[in-house]
């Protein structure tokens, strides 16, 4: 950053005095050193590592002339203030989940996921070919001084760890559940007492009974935090995180100042990292699930009555937010239209195949 600023000043001064014949070429060849603040700790290796995959590839592609140093959550920017730091130019870029900022405005949610939202393949297709990239960047991120690049997905998450069974909607009443954002707002309608507890304090809260349930990510990450030791029932699916997408937020001025080659390098590397992160979870989650089951964890699916009530509550929440927020409604409708056709195709063909293969023991 300092070096870059210095080079800029040197180039500007040189151009003013005419001392350098081609300052633009000199600047294009200069080494760029960017800082990327991640919202995630190194212990969430798959998510944190996604920014590193992108950064490593950018360095390779540029022959070491465009370097991005990735800092773990909290090292240089508090985890939930990464977007702000990118907006105000403290850092050139940050790897984060857009829905962390929905307290400012619920539109931030669409970059990650919403209740009963798109799965990984639907979201990726919506972003790349369905107009999602243009819609979110033009109507939202650019207006906040951010250029957003798709850079990761957790895939479908698990519904979380419960210290008792959920057999009906009645069982949700008074349930102290660590769940935040739009899902928390939705479940509140069904009597859940939702709360946001920092990741580092969740285990203890569940162990001591301060909460009855919590949701985190999926088998691989959950197992590492040890929730299987303090709760017996592991529910699925997380209808609130059917596929949580991550972005690389880039300060818009920093983005605009990049050369064509460097823009291409960062964009391609983030797309590659998006795929690599999903592939990593698809590699790590199946054996972790097996280990959890072998260790005594009881798997449970949310009953259809609970899914139906949650879906209805989510639609009410969407209607309330939409009535006060036109852009929220516009993007919601855009995602919903894409999803409506997609779920039919998925269920029909690959759903039938995956379902059949799930019955086979080789």
The SS3 call for residue 226 is: coil
Among 8, 42, 121, 224, binds a copy of itself (CB under 8 A): 121
Element (H, E) at 301: strand 298-301
Q: Which is nearer to a copy of itself, 198 or 287 (CB)?
A: 287
Among 50, 96, 98, 119, binds a copy of itself (CB under 8 A): 119
Q: Contact region for a copy of itself (CB under 8 A) — 99-107, 134-142, 149-157, 209-217?
A: 149-157
274 binds a copy of itself (CB under 8 A): yes
d(CA 294, CA 284): 16
The β-bridge partners of 214 are 161, 178
d(CA 106, CA 180): 13
d(CA 90, CA 82): 10
Q: Which is nearer to a copy of itself, 138 or 311 (CB)?
A: 311
Among 237, 248, 329, 334, binds a copy of itself (CB under 8 A): 237
Size of residue set near a copy of itself by CB under 8 A: 77
d(CA 299, CA 236): 8
Q: Are 104 and 143 in contact (CB under 8 A)?
A: no
User: Least separation, in Å, of the C-beta of 132 and a copy of itself?
Assistant: 10
Question: Beta 213-214 vs 233-236: how paired, if at all?
Answer: unpaired
Among 280, 309, 328, 334, binds a copy of itself (CB under 8 A): 280
Among 276, 292, 317, 321, binds a copy of itself (CB under 8 A): 276
User: Least separation, in Å, of the C-beta of 252 and a copy of itself?
Assistant: 20
242 binds a copy of itself (CB under 8 A): yes
Among 3, 164, 290, 330, binds a copy of itself (CB under 8 A): 290
String of contacts with a copy of itself for each residue 43-82, x by CB under 8 A: --------------x--xxxx-------------------
Q: Which is nearer to a copy of itself, 18 or 63 (CB)?
A: 63
Count Cβ neighbours within 10 Å for each residue of 128-138 and write b for 16 or more, e otherwise. eebebbebbbe
Matching residue, tokens 């690599």: 276
d(CA 246, CA 111): 7
Among 252, 258, 265, 292, binds a copy of itself (CB under 8 A): 265
d(CA 321, CA 200): 31
CA distances from 355 to 281, 287, 329, 347, 361 (A): 20, 19, 34, 10, 13
User: Least separation, in Å, of the C-beta of 295 and a copy of itself?
Assistant: 16
d(CA 53, CA 272): 8
30 binds a copy of itself (CB under 8 A): no
String of contacts with a copy of itself for each residue 245-264, x by CB under 8 A: ---------------xx--x
Find the angle CA(118)-CA(121)-CA(287) to the nearest 5 degrees.
100
Matching residue, tokens 């209808």: 239
DSSP class of residue 73 equals T
Q: Which two tokens stand for residue 60?
A: 């390779």
Among 6, 25, 128, 319, binds a copy of itself (CB under 8 A): 128
Q: Provide the angle, in degrees to the nearest 10, between the axes of the packed helices 326-345 and 120-128.
A: 120
Torsion of CA 161, 162, 166, 169, to 10 degrees: -90
Among 186, 251, 285, 297, binds a copy of itself (CB under 8 A): 285
282 binds a copy of itself (CB under 8 A): yes
User: Least separation, in Å, of the C-beta of 215 and a copy of itself?
Assistant: 13
Among 12, 22, 279, 319, binds a copy of itself (CB under 8 A): 279
Q: Tell which positions 294-353 bind a copy of itself, by CB under 8 A.
A: 299, 301, 304, 307, 311, 336, 339-353
233 binds a copy of itself (CB under 8 A): no
């Amino acid at each position: 950053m300092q070096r870059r600023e210095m080079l800029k000043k040197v180039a500007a001064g040189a151009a003013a005095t005419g001392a350098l014949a081609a300052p633009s070429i000199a600047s294009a060849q200069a080494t760029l050193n960017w800082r990327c603040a991640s919202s995630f700790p190194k212990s969430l290796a798959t998510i944190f590592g996604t920014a590193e995959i992108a950064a490593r590839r950018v360095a390779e592609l540029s022959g070491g002339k465009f370097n991005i140093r990735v800092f773990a959550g909290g090292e240089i920017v508090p985890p939930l203030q990464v977007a702000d730091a990118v907006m105000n130019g403290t850092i050139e870029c940050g790897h984060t989940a857009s829905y962390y900022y929905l307290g400012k405005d619920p539109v931030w949610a669409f970059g990650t996921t919403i209740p009963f939202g798109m799965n990984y393949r639907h979201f990726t297709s919506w972003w790349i070919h369905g107009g999602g990239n243009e819609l979110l960047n033009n109507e939202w991120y650019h207006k906040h001084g951010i250029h957003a690049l798709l850079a990761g997905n957790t895939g479908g998450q698990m519904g979380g760890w419960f210290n008792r069974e959920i057999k009906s909607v009645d069982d949700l009443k008074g349930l102290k559940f660590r769940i935040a954002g739009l899902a928390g707002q939705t479940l509140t309608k069904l009597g859940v007492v939702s709360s946001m507890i920092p990741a580092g304090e969740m285990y203890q809260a569940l162990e001591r009974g301060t909460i009855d349930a919590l949701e985190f990510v999926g088998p691989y990450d959950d197992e590492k935090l040890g929730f299987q030791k303090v709760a017996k029932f592991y529910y699925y699916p997380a209808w609130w995180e059917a596929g949580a997408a991550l972005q690389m937020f880039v300060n818009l001025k920093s983005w605009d100042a990049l050369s064509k080659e460097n823009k291409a390098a960062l964009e391609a590397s983030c797309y590659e990292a998006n795929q690599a992160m999903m592939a990593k979870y698809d590699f790590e989650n199946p054996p972790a699930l097996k280990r959890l089951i072998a260790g005594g964890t009881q798997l449970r699916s949310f009953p259809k009555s609970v899914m139906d009530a949650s879906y209805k509550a989510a639609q009410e929440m969407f209607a309330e937010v939409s009535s006060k927020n036109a852009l929220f409604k516009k993007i919601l409708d855009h995602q919903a239209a894409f999803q409506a056709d997609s779920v039919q195709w998925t269920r029909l063909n690959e759903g039938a195949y995956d379902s059949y293969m799930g019955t086979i023991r080789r």
